[in-house]
């Protein structure tokens, strides 16, 4: 028996890595590029990559409005790094005309930790996924600059918020799929199963 069918938005970014983790956890994970493919999944991952490029491609492929509608209808969505930016209602430091899908009542600041050369790994305390520390990989990562009242803060680096949850929406500024960390994907799949 296979798990739920979930999608990874496959317009740009680290799609294969997310598909691999989700399949390892028993999900029927598929790439999503078109509205009909979105209609066939019970949850969606927005991968890391370049948020402004994914935004432009989502509009070019006719995916922006369907994704916004799916989020508004309660589709569980997990965004990592650029995906977190795409889930945010508000973006600081976006390029001119950059848009997001929205849904998460947060303001996200792009490239808050600096350039590619300032990428780093660290361990985070994330009680929502268990007692063991999370190995987190930050690559040109954003931070959550502010959260609305219904947003749960899951993790911080110092004072900076780097993981949040609001209903069926989950966002991390880091890349668990790169460091072999599966617990956030498991949290996402629990939201899918609970829907």
**Domains along the sequence of the chain with CATH:** 5-193 (3.40.50.880)
**77-80/88-92 β-pairing:** unpaired
For residue 1, pLDDT over 70 is answered with no
| Helix 183-193 and helix 15-24, axial crossing angle in degrees, nearest 10 | 70
**pTM for this prediction:** 0.95
Residue 96 has pLDDT above 70, yes or no: yes
The set of catalytic residues is 81, 175, 177
Q: Using the predicted structure, report yes or no on whether residue 39 has a pLDDT greater than 70.
A: yes
The answer to whether 107 and 146 are in contact (CB under 8 A) is yes
Question: What integer is the mean pLDDT of 98-116?
Answer: 90
């Amino acid at each position: 028996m296979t798990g739920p069918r979930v999608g990874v938005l496959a317009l740009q970014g680290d799609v294969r890595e997310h598909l691999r983790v989700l399949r390892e956890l028993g999900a029927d994970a598929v790439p999503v590029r078109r509205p009909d493919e979105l209609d066939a999944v019970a949850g969606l991952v927005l991968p890391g990559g370049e948020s402004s490029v994914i935004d432009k491609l989502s509009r070019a492929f006719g995916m922006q409005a369907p994704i916004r509608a799916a989020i508004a209808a309660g589709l569980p969505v997990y965004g990592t790094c650029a995906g977190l930016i795409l889930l945010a209602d508000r973006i600081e430091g976006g390029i001119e005309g950059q848009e997001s899908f929205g849904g998460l009542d947060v303001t996200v600041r792009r490239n808050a930790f600096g350039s590619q050369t300032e990428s780093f790994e660290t361990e985070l305390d994330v009680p929502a996924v268990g007692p063991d520390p999370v190995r987190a990989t930050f690559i040109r990562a954003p931070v959550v600059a502010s959260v609305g009242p219904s947003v749960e803060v899951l993790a911080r680096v110092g004072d900076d918020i780097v993981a949040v949850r609001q209903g069926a929406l989950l966002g991390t500024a880091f890349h668990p799929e790169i460091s072999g960390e599966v617990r956030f994907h498991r949290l996402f799949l629990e939201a899918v199963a609970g829907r």
